[in-house]
Structure 1
């Protein structure tokens, strides 16, 4: 199939995805919003659709659309995976870059992060409160991808890996269900995401324990 035929097919399917989707939907024809660039050039794959959700419902709708159209699905957070896991050739990418808010609960010492938050964005907000958490050393890496895959960083000798500090999450599952994950709700999923990467679902928000960093 030629590039023009692929683009025409994408455009014909766009309306069904846009029907209730609040975020942005991009195809190869949308030069200003079709972002498939990656930290590693060998990780770039030309997707049919790149969607930028605004909330968990948008994520659920995107998954539903991908399943209905039998499209390969990828999740993009920090977009650092060198094997191309955040890309999808001919498929659909859920790009989380605009879902990057961070909230610090000073009483519980827990930080709440949306799924597109990078290490730099998270630690910048934590530092305002004199706090930190176990995240890696590269500022542009996505927090969720790092933490669910293990995650090494400063302080891990005392506080463990990043995954050990995950407290809870709101997840969108492959069947489009939106579920709360913590010690009392779906605790098996909490166990799974602490090192099991993102194979179990897409994390819309996560909470992660913080600590007061030692100073010299």
Structure 2
């Protein structure tokens, strides 16, 4: 297959005649709006955008792309760090209009279409005090998050997003609609739970729901970055035997210019521990008291609040259009050596929008059999998400270099890596994300469902 900007106009007209969604071409007024993705450092111009409203549109778009030999990108929420949800010259299959959500509160299940965002899903499920374990930014797409595994605020209690997945509908590279679950096409079901978009376009997801909220004890507590060595050692010991209901993310950054942040603190380097207790609020208050009382916090926003409010905590830090670059790794433990690296590079943060998130793993995530899903790294102690960000292109190169240097300094401690936090880093890094045995199994699955590697704009597993 070759990239091409020359698409047979008659073939597009034929598609248009039966297509329920919108077909957007480069000379259409809406083209620039629909080619944009979340990461503002990505600027790509597809030759055709097909905005699908259902399975029939998806199948028709795939048939056209195959017939025209088009490089094809697939977009759910458009939150891919490396911008793999858009391409130059080829076709963008945009699932954004597919917004269906159907909650069954009695069965505690929900069916979700591929264009749904996390905040939209939470809004429907929280009406019944239920939730799917998901991510931490509400405008992330459910589809991409799920297909890579899905880490977030309630995973230590209920497992990853994929651990609550009951079934999927997949349109394969040859345009066939396939259902996969534990009892039907079970090998494909194993692969989509962590293997990304390598095997087809998942149009519908069915999840198990779990009781969460509607109120939780949650939010960040901040200390000056100078206190980081003592805070991180306390934090390590405090979470060593914490209950599964507690999930924390330690964050390094400059204090943001938000209305709730005192002006004299804005721009100062800070360390925050953001927590969410997925259980009774009064239990959360008791469990979190030692954190809130340690040392001399400069801000404390950890309090009872609606789970929906807590899910929006990080939204202001990751808006659409900024320039994002991430390096990531898992580590086994928060050793003194790891803490030394964290302290050193935290003190070098310059951009007001650069940040590091150190995710606490374990709990239910680590108790599920490692071979049950394609997701790898269940035994990780912590996951680093090192963001070298800037609001525009100005200063972006230096932020990326800082992120690379931080990541390299952690290299002696790397174990695995979360596939959703990869940039375009090459086949060996993708193999590292899955481990050799799982990677070989995923390659065999790829040969079955996508032998020509039609779906290759992803963290690609080549057949």
TM-score for both structures, normalised by structure 2: 0.44
Give, in angstroms, the shift of residue 42 of structure 1.
2.3
Matches within 5 A, 1:114-193: 114-193=113-192
Q: Which secondary structure state, in structure 2, belongs to the residue aligned with residue 179 of structure 1?
A: strand
CA distance in 1, matches of 2:30, 2:8: 16
Runs of 4+ with deviation above 3 angstroms:
8-13
The corresponding residue for 1:23 is 21
Alignment of 1:102 with 2:167, yes or no, is: no
CA distance in 2, matches of 1:144, 1:115: 5
The corresponding residue for 1:77 is 76
Deviations 1:87-126 (A, max 9, x none): 0110111111110121111222111100000000000100
Say whether the 8 Å CA contact 1:10–1:27 is kept in structure 2. no
CA distance in 2, matches of 1:94, 1:17: 13
Say whether the 8 Å CA contact 2:171–2:202 is kept in structure 1. yes
Say whether the 8 Å CA contact 1:43–1:82 is kept in structure 2. no
Say whether the 8 Å CA contact 1:43–1:81 is kept in structure 2. no
Give, in angstroms, the shift of residue 82 of structure 1.
2.2
Please give the root-mean-square deviation of Cα atoms over the aligned residues, in Å.
1.6
Give, in angstroms, the shift of residue 9 of structure 1.
5.2
Deviations 1:168-207 (A, max 9, x none): 0111001100111112211111111111111111011101
The corresponding residue for 1:202 is 201
The corresponding residue for 1:88 is 87
My pick for the range that moved more, 107-116 or 34-43, is 34-43
The corresponding residue for 2:280 is 215
Gaps of 5+ in 2: 213-278, 282-463
Structure 1 pair 144–9 and aligned structure 2 pair: CA distance change class (3 A): closer
Matches within 5 A, 1:31-70: 31-32=29-30, 35-70=34-69
CA distance in 1, matches of 2:153, 2:25: 40
My pick for the range that moved more, 200-209 or 17-26, is 17-26
The corresponding residue for 1:3 is none
Structure 1 pair 168–20 and aligned structure 2 pair: CA distance change class (3 A): same
CA distance in 1, matches of 2:181, 2:106: 18
Give, in angstroms, the shift of residue 44 of structure 1.
2.9
Give, in angstroms, the shift of residue 19 of structure 1.
3.3
Q: Which secondary structure state, in structure 2, belongs to the residue aligned with residue 112 of structure 1?
A: strand
CA distance in 1, matches of 2:165, 2:192: 9
TM-score for both structures, normalised by structure 1: 0.92
My pick for the range that moved more, 116-125 or 80-89, is 80-89
Say whether the 8 Å CA contact 2:62–2:175 is kept in structure 1. yes
Deviations 1:60-92 (A, max 9, x none): 110010010000111111111121210011011
CA distance in 2, matches of 1:106, 1:193: 25
Say whether the 8 Å CA contact 1:10–1:48 is kept in structure 2. no
Deviations 1:16-52 (A, max 9, x none): 3213222111101111255111111223310001111
Q: Which secondary structure state, in structure 1, belongs to the residue aligned with residue 125 of structure 2?
A: helix
Gaps of 5+ in 1: 1-5
